[in-house]
């Protein structure tokens, strides 16, 4: 029988320390912390198996604070567990402190950053998938959710997937404190409503008074004992529980208490209890998938291959050579060609159905356990998970993304399916690489390079076939580029990537017949970009044209302009991109209409070279 007095004292300490740390910071969310203190006391003392002195221990349980704004509670439990001391606790939100306003992996054992609501649970699904299907270890994953975040659709993607994958190693604790930031949540204290939703989605659900320590203990025991499906512990709680001035009061969200000293007194004063969190048992080593001989795909110059197919083939070969590579797809694997990986390595392929947010979150969870996930869908639909990619960067996640069907060159399907903003969006992710190969050999080599690259890497692939130009043994590197054609006296530099490399080369042929020599640079690495090659080419040319199958904002053109920003004597640059909303049509009709085909490059070149120094050229 657990010592309920100790747990009560521990819970009160977590409340006190939440109040103290928020007061010290002058900001923070103490009331959102106080509601879940009892849940955490029972978890720490009775259920969590986590060696805080060895955060990398593969047997550790994982605790994800999906309600990241309850960081005062999280840091208070780290203190109780001995992971930080009281001085560090009181550095909460200070510049330089590891204890940021919302948790990040800067403070171990935090797996991922939270603070954008509705993301922690989907990431926990990824961790639980890693435990059940990859590591094949009995660690458990505990996620603490707020009730406000249950409004996020991503939470229901997580519910759906966790049940479908039968993740009985996953428990979500929902802190139903009724009050959101500005008022009551949609469900308030309708515990039956939450339970009905959880059960309808295939979960075991337990409703409990979140301040009844014995009841919480029983619920956790039930969660651990439940097999074949995940468990939701739905805890009815009070926001600000334990301090009358704030308990269940509106208008108390996200601010320190007015009278923290009084609150600490009301909670029984400061304590300095330590809790001996159970260490995990050593239950063997994480599963390793067998590897074998793998032949990376290669194509001869002149073959016609879609870069999306090259992605699938390269990833499959990579998976044969490396057991840590896994793949996820958003139910379009026969379009992205991740189906090749799925067929070759079915145990390491995860079908995430049409739930892009859950797909990215699952990948983030898996990489937190050192797996090397590649997640693919149409480039256009990666935009669905943009907040997850943004947060993955805050999580310092190593993530590989592939977006297929880039640009108007997909043709008849129309603009809803065309990625036209993906390079802009992915470039604006901290530490990202944005790669857009023009041929199969480039794509394959970049897939291999992505596997070893820290941070978030994005490969943009094409629907249609393109001719192989890059010899199979030529070096292709993140940050590199390829000079497709050049002479010693180029009048013009044309910078292209992906489908427009063909167009640039055709344009150079036309221009050469007119006596204009053009250098063509295949800028397959849009970020990082090959500044040295571009600057040298620009300084030797009378004009630069960039051409991309993407909106003009934030893509190749602006990446080139950034690379040349410091060059004082650079010639005028003309950015060709898609400026009008595309419609359906053939790839040729659409690239022509968009002004990104060879005709457009030729016209821009004639204009620039005839009129090299206009005051303003859009």
Q: Which residues are catalytic?
A: 356
Choosing from 234, 425, 511, 596, the residue that interacts with a second copy (CB under 8 A) is 425
- The minimum distance between CB 180 and a second copy, in angstroms, equals 5
- The minimum distance between CB 229 and a second copy, in angstroms, equals 13
User: Contact region for a second copy (CB under 8 A) — 258-266, 287-295, 466-474, 587-595?
Assistant: 587-595
Q: Quick check: 586 binds a second copy (CB under 8 A)?
A: yes
Residues near 1 by beta carbon (within 8 Å), at least 6 away in sequence? none
- The residue among 26 and 82 lying less far from a second copy, judged by its C-beta, is 26
Choosing from 180, 242, 312, 498, the residue that interacts with a second copy (CB under 8 A) is 180
Binding mask 502-521 for a second copy (x = CB under 8 A): --------------------
Residues near 145 by beta carbon (within 8 Å), at least 6 away in sequence? 66, 67, 120, 121, 155, 172, 173, 174, 175
Do the Cβ atoms of 197 and 185 come closer than 8 Å? no
249 to 278, contacts with a second copy by CB under 8 A? Answer: none
66 to 95, contacts with a second copy by CB under 8 A? Answer: 68, 93-95
- The minimum distance between CB 99 and a second copy, in angstroms, equals 8
526 to 565, contacts with a second copy by CB under 8 A? Answer: 527, 531-532, 535, 539, 551-555, 557-559, 561-563, 565
3-state SS class at 229: coil
Helix axes 587-594, 598-610, angle to 10 degrees: 20
Closest CA to 181 of 252, 241, 116: 252
User: Contact region for a second copy (CB under 8 A) — 6-14, 194-202, 399-407, 494-502?
Assistant: 194-202
Residues near 215 by beta carbon (within 8 Å), at least 6 away in sequence? 208, 209
Choosing from 220, 381, 458, 524, the residue that interacts with a second copy (CB under 8 A) is 381
87 to 146, contacts with a second copy by CB under 8 A? Answer: 93-97, 99-102, 104, 106, 113-118
- The minimum distance between CB 568 and a second copy, in angstroms, equals 4
Give me the phi and psi of 617, to 5 degrees please: -120, 125
Q: Quick check: 25 binds a second copy (CB under 8 A)?
A: yes
- The minimum distance between CB 469 and a second copy, in angstroms, equals 27
Q: Quick check: 429 binds a second copy (CB under 8 A)?
A: yes
How far apart are the C-alpha atoms of 145 and 123, rounded to whole Å?
12
Beta bridge partners of 63: 142
Residue-by-residue DSSP string for 413-459: T-GGG-BSSHHHHHHTSTT-EEE--SSHHHHHHHHHHHHH--SEEEE
Where does 41-191 show beta strands of DSSP type E? 62-65, 141-146, 170-176
First and final C-alpha spacing in the chain? 75
Q: Quick check: 200 binds a second copy (CB under 8 A)?
A: yes
Binding mask 272-311 for a second copy (x = CB under 8 A): ----------------------------------------
Secondary structure letter of residue 406 according to DSSP: B
User: Contact region for a second copy (CB under 8 A) — 46-54, 183-191, 297-305, 491-499?
Assistant: 183-191
Choosing from 77, 391, 492, 602, the residue that interacts with a second copy (CB under 8 A) is 391
Choosing from 238, 313, 324, 421, the residue that interacts with a second copy (CB under 8 A) is 421
Burial (0-12, 13-18, 19+ Cβ within 10 Å), 26: exposed
User: Contact region for a second copy (CB under 8 A) — 270-278, 297-305, 388-396, 502-510?
Assistant: 388-396
Choosing from 353, 472, 506, 606, the residue that interacts with a second copy (CB under 8 A) is 353
26 to 45, contacts with a second copy by CB under 8 A? Answer: 26-28
Choosing from 7, 197, 204, 211, the residue that interacts with a second copy (CB under 8 A) is 197
User: Contact region for a second copy (CB under 8 A) — 80-88, 409-417, 478-486, 508-516?
Assistant: 409-417
β-pair type (482-485, 518-522): antiparallel
Residues near 509 by beta carbon (within 8 Å), at least 6 away in sequence? none
With CB under 8 A as the rule, give the number of residues binding a second copy: 127
- The residue among 122 and 319 lying less far from a second copy, judged by its C-beta, is 122
- The residue among 216 and 420 lying less far from a second copy, judged by its C-beta, is 420
What are 171's two structure tokens? 């428990």
User: Contact region for a second copy (CB under 8 A) — 133-141, 182-190, 241-249, 440-448?
Assistant: 182-190
Binding mask 561-580 for a second copy (x = CB under 8 A): xxx-xxxxx-xxxxx----x
How far apart are the C-alpha atoms of 528 and 431, rounded to whole Å?
9
Q: Widest CA span of the chain, in angstroms?
A: 90
3-state SS class at 566: coil
User: Contact region for a second copy (CB under 8 A) — 74-82, 123-131, 273-281, 429-437?
Assistant: 429-437
- The residue among 44 and 576 lying less far from a second copy, judged by its C-beta, is 576
Give the DSSP H or E segment for 319.
helix 307-321
Q: Give CB contacts under 8 A, 24+ apart, made by 53-59.
A: 53/82, 55/108, 55/109, 57/279, 57/280, 58/135, 58/137, 58/139, 58/285, 58/286, 58/369, 59/137, 59/139, 59/280, 59/281, 59/282, 59/283
- The residue among 42 and 198 lying less far from a second copy, judged by its C-beta, is 198
């Amino acid at each position: 029988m657990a010592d309920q007095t100790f747990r009560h004292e521990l819970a009160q300490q977590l409340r006190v320390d939440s109040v103290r740390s928020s007061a010290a910071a002058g900001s923070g969310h103490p009331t959102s912390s106080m509601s879940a203190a009892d849940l955490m006391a029972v978890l720490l003392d009775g259920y969590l198996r986590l060696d805080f002195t060895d955060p990398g221990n593969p047997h550790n349980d994982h605790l994800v604070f999906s309600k990241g704004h309850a960081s005062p509670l999280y840091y208070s439990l780290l203190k109780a567990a001995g992971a930080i001391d009281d001085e560090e606790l009181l550095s909460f939100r200070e510049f330089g402190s590891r204890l940021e306003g919302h948790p990040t992996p800067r403070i171990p054992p935090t797996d991922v950053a939270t603070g954008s609501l509705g993301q922690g649970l989907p990431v926990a699904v990824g961790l639980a998938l890693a435990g059940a299907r990859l590591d094949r270890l009995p660690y458990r994953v505990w996620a603490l959710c707020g009730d406000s975040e249950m409004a996020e659709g991503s939470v229901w993607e997580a519910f759906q997937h966790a049940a479908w994958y039968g993740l009985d190693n996953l428990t979500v604790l929902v802190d139903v404190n009724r009050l959101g930031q500005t008022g009551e949540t949609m469900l308030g204290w309708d515990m039956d409503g939450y339970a009905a939703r959880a059960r309808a989605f295939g979960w075991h659900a337990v409703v409990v008074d979140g301040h009844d320590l014995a009841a919480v203990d029983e619920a956790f025991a039930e969660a651990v004992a439940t097999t074949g499906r995940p468990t939701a512990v739905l805890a009815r709680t009070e926001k600000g529980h334990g301090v009358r001035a704030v308990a269940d009061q509106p208008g108390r969200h996200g601010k320190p208490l007015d009278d923290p000293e009084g609150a600490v007194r009301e909670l029984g004063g400061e304590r300095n209890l330590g809790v001996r969190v159970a260490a995990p048992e050593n239950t063997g080593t994480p599963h390793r998938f067998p590897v074998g001989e793998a032949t990376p795909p290669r194509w001869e110059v002149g073959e016609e291959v879609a870069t999306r197919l090259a992605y699938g083939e390269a990833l499959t070969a990579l998976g044969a050579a490396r057991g840590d590579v896994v793949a996820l797809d958003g139910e379009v694997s026969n379009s992205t060609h991740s189906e090749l990986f799925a067929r070759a390595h079915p145990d390491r392929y995860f079908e995430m159905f049409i739930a892009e947010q859950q797909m990215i979150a699952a990948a983030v969870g898996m990489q937190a356990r050192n797996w090397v996930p590649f997640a693919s869908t149409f480039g256009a639909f990666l935009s669905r998970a943009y907040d997850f990619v943004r947060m993955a960067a805050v999580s310092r996640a190593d993530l590989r993304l592939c977006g297929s069907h880039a640009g108007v060159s997909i043709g008849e399907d129309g603009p809803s399916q065309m990625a036209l903003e993906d390079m802009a969006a992915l470039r604006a992710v901290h530490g990202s690489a944005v790669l857009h190969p023009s041929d199969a050999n480039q794509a394959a080599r970049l897939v291999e390079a992505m596997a070893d690259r820290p941070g978030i890497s994005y490969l943009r692939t094409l629907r249609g076939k393109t001719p192989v130009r890059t010899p199979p043994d030529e070096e292709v590197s993140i940050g590199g580029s390829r000079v497709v054609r050049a002479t010693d006296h180029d009048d013009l530099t044309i910078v292209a990537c992906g489908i427009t490399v063909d167009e640039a080369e055709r344009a150079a042929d036309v221009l050469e017949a007119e006596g204009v020599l053009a250098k063509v640079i295949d800028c397959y690495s849009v970020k990082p970009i090959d500044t040295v090659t571009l600057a040298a080419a620009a300084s030797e040319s009378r004009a630069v044209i960039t051409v991309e199958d993407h909106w003009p904002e934030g893509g190749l053109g602006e990446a080139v302009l950034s690379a040349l920003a410091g060059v004082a004597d650079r010639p005028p640059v003309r950015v060709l991109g898609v400026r009008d909303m595309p419609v359906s049509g053939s790839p040729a009709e659409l690239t022509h209409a968009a002004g990104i085909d060879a005709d457009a490059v030729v016209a821009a070149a004639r204009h620039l070279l005839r009129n090299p120094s206009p005051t303003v050229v859009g």
